[in-house]
Chains A and B, each alone.
Chain A
Amino acid sequence: MSIQNSRLSSEDLEKNFSDLHPPFDHPEGALLEANRCINCFDAPCTKLCPTSIQIPLFIKQIASGNLKGSAHTIFSSNIMGGGCSKVCPVEKLCEGACVYNLLEETPIAIAKLQRYATEKAIDEQWKLFTRKPSNGKKVAIVGAGPAGLSCAHSLSLEGVDVTVFEKEAKGGGLMTYGVAAYKVTPEFCEAEVKYITSIGGIEIKYNQELGKTIHLDELRKKHDAVFLGIGVGIARGLQIPGEELQGVEDAISFIYNLRTSDYSKVGVGDNVAVIGMGMTAIDAATQSKRLGAKEVTLLYRRTEQEKPCTDVELELARLDGCNILWLSAPKEIIGENGKAKKLVCSKMKLGAPDASGRKSPVDTGETFELEVDMVIKAAGQIPFEDLVTKSAIENKEGKIKIDKSGKTNIPGVFSGGDAVNGGKEVVDAVQAGKDAAEGILEYLKKQTGK
């Protein structure tokens, strides 16, 4: 029992990490599906899209043979419409609202159609947007994730010169570093970043970390405004004995490793326990299994009803053969020779509702043990509280406070996305970037007016 890499052949790994939602193989498939859409007015799908993509319009544009128009419609609302078509939990957003659900029929494959139009645009580098001539305004954006890139694109369109500072070596943020590989490939993420920045006026400086190589004060001095799209990053600790043992890893770094190295080089245990039931937990559990782990067990301290992931995600974990344990909380990790060996869990029951409105888990006092050699912590992420507090930005437990236009308490400093909301979907971050861009443009106009 140990953590090993190369448990499977490269062919098997290739297969296990191939596209979860394959695209339409033939244009006919897209046409058939596009023609199935009834073109709702004030469409429920659009209403549940955080970026309000005009979904019936882009689908009817596919049907009419106006694929360029279709891609333009999508990107006008969501410049990361390509990536979102792969990672969005559409079952609780657009597709979940499709009126076909009310007829108990399969909803329109909106994500698949969106992918059809956007992938073509990205592959063929369609020039769908032209930025206004440079107006001399300079904005610094920290973080080349969905919020930052979306903000950058919106600003550049209006003639603002944008510099994006990214701490990693590649853009895309969590899309590149934090999502299961079978949902979106690093190559796609790179192509998407390239496509977004192809309108010009956006320079991305990599390996630039706020508080280390760059500082807010300097950025403010050199630019007319600053947008902080720094996301969340630190995995929440379990606060239990044994967390320091070898074999205990956080899901963020586990997935990061999967995204930055060869699958064959990423080690995984025989018996893996994943703590948490969010999207990241599912991504970590399914990918452990796909790397060749024998047993993967997902633990969640509440019941299925309170789970943060969607039914579709849970089903994915189940189909991959992961065990699911409800009402189970980690209590202690017992090691041998410094390596994790056993996970002691408390049996929980549901008590009174907590602040989130969900029933809170209460320890029953009973425990049970799992043989493990790897424990992956996926119990949520903590905002960069120190970083934010040191910069004197008003925040709540590290989550940056902003007003409706994205403004923080510091003049000319805006924020949005995970850094503000503590971690939501990519599509939420894209919208936050758009909103902040609007706020920034308004702010710049006022500054000029003075």
Chain B
Amino acid sequence: MADLRSDFLGIKSPNPFWLASAPPTDKKINVLRAFEAGWGGVVWKTLGTQVKNVSSRYSALTYNGQKAMGFNNIELISDRPLDINLKEIREVLKEFPDRAMVVSLMADNNKESWHEMVKKAQDTGAHGLELNFGCPHGMVERGMGASVGQDPEIAKMVVEWVMEVAQIPVITKLTPNVHSVVPAGRAVTEAGSNALSLINTIQSVTGVDLDTLVPNPNVAGKSVFGGYCGPAVKPIALKMLTTLAQDEVTRKVPISGIGGISTWKDAAEFILLGASNVQVCTAAMVQGFRIITDLCEGLNNWMDEKGYKTISDFQGLSVPSLTRWEELDINYHIIANINQDKCIHCGLCYITCEDTSHQSIDIKKGMPYNTYTIKDEECVGCNLCKIVCPVQDCITMEVHRKAPEYLNWTEFQKRGLPLNDH
């Protein structure tokens, strides 16, 4: 059995799965249910000046019958009285002292407000604070949320205010609604933020109702850009996470990974690319807290298989593999191979290669089943056929190096080697 315990800046939790600051962590009743289900920790839904929410609040993207593969919301920070939230945080801490309790904060844009908010939050006995510099809707218009996170100077200033009074670890949550997360990440790290978390949601319109012509979600015939999350954003989150894990400034602080984590595999990937723990929201919102069972078990079994005893054993191991394009080995060449015993003759490899790739698959008509084979000399090793093939391990990519030695693009040009002639 691997040890799933997590220690994030001294904030301990029995597993690395925290619920992100969002509707699931809005109040005591939810958080207690989450802890009973086995979640390692929560980031309490953002506290700030009390707001009012609208109805409706969420919308989602269905793809080929898969519901909520992308999700968005236009909910604001907590719309409950601050005192009730603080009281409930204390109560939960008492009931579950072994779980991580981090409080998300978003104060009005002045020093006094931030100082007051930080003090109130840490007075509860919470283990950490997360600064919400990422909320992309509603709060931005009031000079908060993403409008702080999008400007490294402002972000730095706010973190400095916070650090003046903070006595518990401070995590700064970054917005993805920027060209690069690195400038803001650096600014807040240099200002003293103890850790980073990302991503917050991405500005989005999930779709337009084709009957009413109103974009989703519909609030009395109008809509606003919402924050996009769910499985669809994972690749974007992973990329942003990697840029922080590679940057010489930001990599010095731990990162809490957020963005479309739905399974233990997603979690492992985030940790491999530099996260110290992960935060989950959408998956729990569309399935309930019970998903924690497989998140933990799956991760544990994978760690056992790989021989990792603790989370830190594999944390960041994939970061060095992400390099610059110029350093990729041009002599590396792979060619697809179709295992005829496994092939079910669906023809998806053929039609995709023929229409949109390199016409590298040969078709031999049969009744009713055609036979498909790879034209080795045409195949560029793009992976498309393997991606569309519905049968596991039917199409494999086999290595046929162009030459034994490593050769990158810079060197290739230097030697004046020939480009494609077709």
Contacts and interface: CB of A to CB of B under 8 A. Distances in A.
Contacts of A102: 344-345
Contact of A38 (B65, B367, B369, B390): B390
Interface in A22-64: 31-32, 34-35, 38-45, 47-48, 63
Contacts of A32: 65
Most buried by A among B365, B368, B369: B368
**What's the interface size class on B, roughly?**
10 to 19
A40 B65 contact: no
A106 to B, nearest CB: 14
Interface residues on A, range: 20 to 34
Given A35-B64, A38-B390, A102-B344, A44 B350 contact: no
Contacts of A45: 368
A319 interface: no
A41 B350 contact: yes
B347 A43 contact: yes
Contacts of B351: 41-42
Contacts, number: 44
Interface in A74-114: 97, 99-100, 102-103
B346 A99 contact: yes
A34 B390 CA distance: 16
A40 B391 contact: no
B65 A41 contact: no
B52 to A, nearest CB: 36
Given A38-B390, A41-B350, A99-B345, A47 B65 contact: no
A63 B64 contact: yes
B318 interface: no
B357 interface: no
A232 B135 CA distance: 74
Nearest to B372: A41
A103 B369 CA distance: 14
A44 B65 contact: no
Contacts of B365: 42
Contacts of A47: 367-368
B367 A40 contact: no
Interface string B353-386: 0000000000101011110000000000000000
A43 B347 CA distance: 8
Nearest to B348: A41
Interface string B202-233: 00000000000000000000000000000000
Given A40-B346, A41-B351, A102-B345, A35 B65 contact: yes
Contacts of B363: 42
Nearest to B346: A40
B386 to A, nearest CB: 15
14 contacts: A31-B65, A32-B65, A38-B346, A40-B347, A41-B347, A41-B348, A41-B350, A42-B351, A42-B363, A42-B370, A43-B347, A44-B345, A99-B345, A103-B391
Given A35-B65, A42-B363, A42-B370, 10 more contacts: A31-B65, A34-B65, A41-B347, A41-B350, A45-B368, A63-B64, A63-B65, A97-B368, A99-B345, A102-B345
Q: Which 4 A-B pairs have the closest CB atoms?
A: A41-B347, A35-B65, A44-B368, A41-B351
